[in-house]
Structure 1
Amino acid sequence: MTTLCIGNNRTEEMVGDLTGMTPLERAFAGCGAQRMLWFAEDGDVLVLPWEPEPAYLAYVTGLTGTRAESLTVVVPPAGPDGEDILTPDRLADPGFRGELRRALAGRPVRRVLAISPNAAVVDLAAAVGAEDAVPGHAFAAQGGNALVNSKAVFRALAAGAGVPVSPGTVATSPQQVEAAVNGLLEQGHSVMVKVEYQAGGFGNEVLTRAEQVAPAGAQRAVELADAGAVAAYVAERWQWLTGGRNQRVVVERYFADAVPLYAEFSIGDGGSVLSGCGEMVMDPVVVGEITPPVTPDAGVRAELVDQAARLCESLRVLGYRGTVSADAFLTPKGELYFSETNGRLTGSTHLHDALFARLVGAGHRADRVILELAGLHVPSFPEAVAAVERAGLAFDPRTRTGVVFSADFGPADGSVMYCVIAEDAAAARAAESRLLALFAR
């Protein structure tokens, strides 16, 4: 039976209003959608924003063992917003839906796997007779995915489940934001303000008094000397803070030098199953991760998983089914606070569900780490693959170690995302140094 894979990267449930995205951000979204190839198996049908680059398609399927010729890719016509994002209007195109029906050719769809399992996905699945193949389709059809990805809803769910969150509040007016920010600043704390719908730290800013604070998980730090400066900041940034559409604003204490962590689960009818956990790398927003995490000890990791499982149970009871990543951070004093949930295929899902499962193998998962980072600029994807092979750094299925290029961002900025799979973190960093030296400018 067939899986219908839908690369709807960067939906409104993920990042809010799409009209504010730059052309470069859109190009990155389109490239990121191509990572759906890591999940594809023989005979699957993929809906992608544009045809995958042949070299990337051959590379991924060569590693996963999927027969590239058995896959069918269907691309809807570009919409008013271009070709990089699978917007609802593109998924609703009648001609595209007809082509998708022909591609499926009456084959039963056993599962619909979408990056963002939202109402547009359910509507498309229903149009090809596969609504029941969308996990939690009834919940998703009523806009449930927006609940799972809301940073404001997250704080309410965490509080109800007894899961620790950073001191703060959810504000709905400029006056409430000012009061919350001033209250924390007056206590001598820095503040994180968060747009309700965004991803990767791009909807966050750190507010601080006159001292310098390095932002982590936020785009920038803003110095606000007094209440007047806070009022001016809120007035100037109100449209941005509310996503341009009267969204809520999260205001919470910012902990400098904290270690960002996550635990990712798959939520089904009977409960939640841990997919994996990791430690994120910030510069200053998320640029990569190492999994499993290296900083926290066994006790903290157990608490991370336990508390994340409690969050997942709250979401399961609501009706959500699918992947959830619960993000948290460990303060220098050893306190663990949770910061958000992401109800979608995340930037980590392919590591756990594809690289660990299909390349490393379950029998070696406990003795391998994956270091993944973005932003390695290369002459071209094929040249990068060839250079790594010549250097003896390419992934070796016998040792289950080596370098894998998980994403090709060449169409956006000429870079790749690389994964180093190694026996431990030190070996991963050593291999990374050799990799970076290959492409040093």
Structure 2
Amino acid sequence: MDFDEGEVLAQWAQQAPRKAWLLRPGDVLVSPVPLGRQFLEYVTGLTGVPSESVTVIAVPPVGAVPLAQAVRQAGLTDRLQALADEPGAVLLPTALDVSAVGFARDLGLTVHPYPTVDDAAAALKMTRLLNTKAGFREVAERLAMRLPAGRVCRRPEVDGVVREFLGQYERVVIKPDRSAGGHGMRFIARGDLEGGAALELDVIGGPAGTWVVEEYVDVAASVSIQLETTTCGTRVLFSGAMRTARGSFTGYVSPLPPSCAHVAGELEQWGLHLGRHLAGHGYAGPFGVDALVSTDGSVYADESNIRRTATTTPHAMVTRLTAGTAVARPAWSVSTGYTRRPFSFEEALARLREQRLAFDPARGEGVVLYADAPSDGRSWRYAVISADADGVAEWDARLSRAMEFEST
């Protein structure tokens, strides 16, 4: 995402507290937003990590800049340097980018899981390429993934390409090259441009930015597979179906539901091929492939995310919380529910406990408030963990009634 999309980036920053589920004793979490004390105690209570054994540094807002730059502007570099001098310290960024590598150099750290900062820097060319829509199409075609018909073009060419595509397809999708979560996508039908109507398009990435125009796929499900590549090879972590609204991510359920489970093999093949490609260009760490399942059952590769995604940390949380329980292969989901009135974190958690919905470590099932209290007190991000998919749906329905979620 380009930094001139400041409002969207500020919204996404509100999800940073979920990284608290990764904390182990001695860890430091550097966050663009504060973590509530009650939330941190709730997390450490479930993970068994003494809250006094971890450090959380909330960086004051300074506008849409890389977090490393915000740290410097806030005068926090010396404090982080002192913490970074602890034996065994490494940097675990959400995404491997130039800013993260530069910050690691400043602090004298390596970037997990690379042996040296130079090794991490060598992978930047590939992460930059594959975190764009155009770059993914280029590599996906080489790896023989099935793609919707499409074309990469500059902003001045978009209007003409859209009209050309509408001569072949009833609808098209227009995607900014650098975007995530569905931000900036447009869906255009033939009738929308009748009579020579102008194509209104947000200027994302500048007036000469890169865009992708694709045929519209009649989507039955949006799915993804998340993997990790290391020196030992690439392995599948999990797969599932995304909940979306007009192409924007709103939630996730894992494993793949029966309606789209037939695409699991092809998804895995694509992910493993991409993992080998990434490893061959020096990348190590988590990544994902998003895809669309059409109403005729075919699956089309959509994009790649060469970073920790919106589901990577929740999956790590689920794995951690169910370890040692009777739930050997948990089913889980993440969603957002909108309450009719605002709640504080303590009030929301109390309601879960009163209704016997709160996650039970002994059973390995229940509801987790995984991302702290929302600023509006109403838009609650939560995870449901159960022994099977039917259980996830049951917990979700009970939660909706207990919290009096509004229908969306």
TM over 0.5: yes
Q: Secondary structure of the equivalent of 2:372?
A: strand
Q: State the match for 1:188 in structure 2.
A: 169
Letter in 2 for 1:353: A
Give the equivalent residue in structure 2 for 1:225.
194
| Correspondent of 2:140 among 158, 161, 174 | 158
Query: Given the alignment, which residue of 313, 335, 350 partners 1:373?
Result: 335
Structure 2: distance between partners of 1:438 and 1:238? 40
Which deviations, in whole Å up to 9, do the C-alpha atoms of 1:156-175 show, x marking residues without a partner?
00011111111111112523
CA distance in 2, matches of 1:403, 1:286: 20
Q: Distance in 1 between matches of 2:100 and 2:179?
A: 20
1:122 aligns with one of 71, 91, 101 = 101
Q: Which residue of 2 aligns with 1:359?
A: 321
Structure 1 Cα separation of the partners of residues 327 and 387 of structure 2: 10
Say whether residues 1:401 and 2:383 are aligned partners: no
Does 2:406 correspond to 1:427? no
1:163 and 1:310 in contact (8 A); partners too: no
Amino acid at match of 2:266: E
Across the two proteins, how many residue pairs are aligned to each other? 399
Aligned to 1:106: 86
- Aligned residue identity for 1:281: R
Q: Distance in 1 between matches of 2:47 and 2:166?
A: 51
1:147 shift after superposition = 1.9
User: Is the contact between residue 91 and residue 124 of structure 1 (CA under 8 Å) also seen in structure 2?
Assistant: no
| Cα distance change, pair 180–245 in 1 and its aligned pair in 2 (3 A) | closer
Residue-by-residue CA offset, 1:239-258 (whole Å, 9 max, x unaligned) = 23xx2263311111111233
- 2:57 aligned with 1:74, yes or no? yes
CA offset digits 1:222-244 (Å, max 9, x no partner): x2236x33xx20xx42623xx22
Question: How many angstroms does 1:302 deviate by?
Answer: 1.4
Residues of 1 paired with 2:370 and 2:270: CA distance? Answer: 30
SS in 2 for 1:112: coil
Give the alignment partner of residue 36 of structure 2, picking from 53, 57, 60. Answer: 53
Whether the aligned pair in 1 keeps the contact of 2:221 and 2:260 (CA below 8 Å) is no
Q: 1:125 to 1:412 in 2, by over 3 A?
A: farther
C-alpha separation in 2, matches of 1:437 and 1:238:
39
Contact conserved, 1:263 with 1:305, CA < 8 A, in 2?
yes
For residues 174 and 74 of structure 2, what CA distance do their matches in structure 1 show? Answer: 41
- Unaligned stretches of 5+ residues in structure 1: 1-14, 211-222
Shift in CA distance, 133/345, structure 1 to aligned 2, threshold 3 Å: closer
Structure 2 SS opposite 1:329: strand
Q: Distance in 1 between matches of 2:212 and 2:120?
A: 24
For residue 364 of structure 2, what is the amino acid of its counterpart?
R
Unmatched 5+ residue regions in structure 2? none
Question: Contact conserved, 1:119 with 1:140, CA < 8 A, in 2?
Answer: no
8 Å contact 2:60–2:74 — kept in the other structure? Answer: no
TM-score (norm 2): 0.90
Aligned partners of 1:45 and 1:104 also within 8 Å? no
DSSP 3-state at the match of 2:381: strand
One-letter identity of the residue aligned with 2:109: A
For the residues of structure 1 that align with 2:392 and 2:186, how far apart are their CA atoms?
32
- The residue aligned with 1:168 is 150
1:216 matched to which residue of 2? none
Change beyond 3 A, Cα 1:365–1:197: farther
Tell me, in whole angstroms, the C-alpha distance in 2 between the residues paired with 1:362 and 1:258. Answer: 36
**SS of residue paired to 2:163:** helix
2:212 alignment counterpart: 250
**Is 99-108 or 86-95 further displaced after alignment?**
86-95
In structure 2, C-alpha distance between the alignment counterparts of 1:362 and 1:114, rounded to whole Å:
28
Residues 336 and 381, structure 2, Cα contact 8 Å, conserved in 1: yes
- Cα distance in 1 between the residues matched to 2:259 and 2:234: 23
- Asked if 1 retains the 8 angstrom alpha-carbon contact of 2:369 and 2:383, the reply is yes
- Is 1:342 aligned to residue 324 of structure 2? no
Q: CA RMSD in A?
A: 2.4
CA distance in structure 1 between the partners assigned to 2:149 and 2:224 by the alignment: 19
Structure 1 residue 386, shift from structure 2 partner: 0.8
Residue aligned with 2:76, SS: helix
- Compare 58-67 and 92-101 and name the one that shifted more: 92-101
Contact 2:223 2:291 in 1 (8 A): yes
Structure 2: distance between partners of 1:225 and 1:149: 34
Which of 281, 288, 298 in structure 1 is aligned with 2:251?
288
Alignment match, 1:8: none
Mean alpha-carbon deviation: is it higher for 407-416 or for 36-45? 407-416
Instruction: Tell me the secondary structure at the aligned position of residue 236 of structure 2.
Output: strand
Indicate if the aligned counterparts of 2:220 and 2:295 stay in contact, CA closer than 8 A. yes
The SS at the match of 1:95 is: coil
- Sequence identity percentage: 29
- What SS is found at the alignment partner of 2:364? coil
Q: Distance in 1 between matches of 2:374 and 2:155?
A: 42
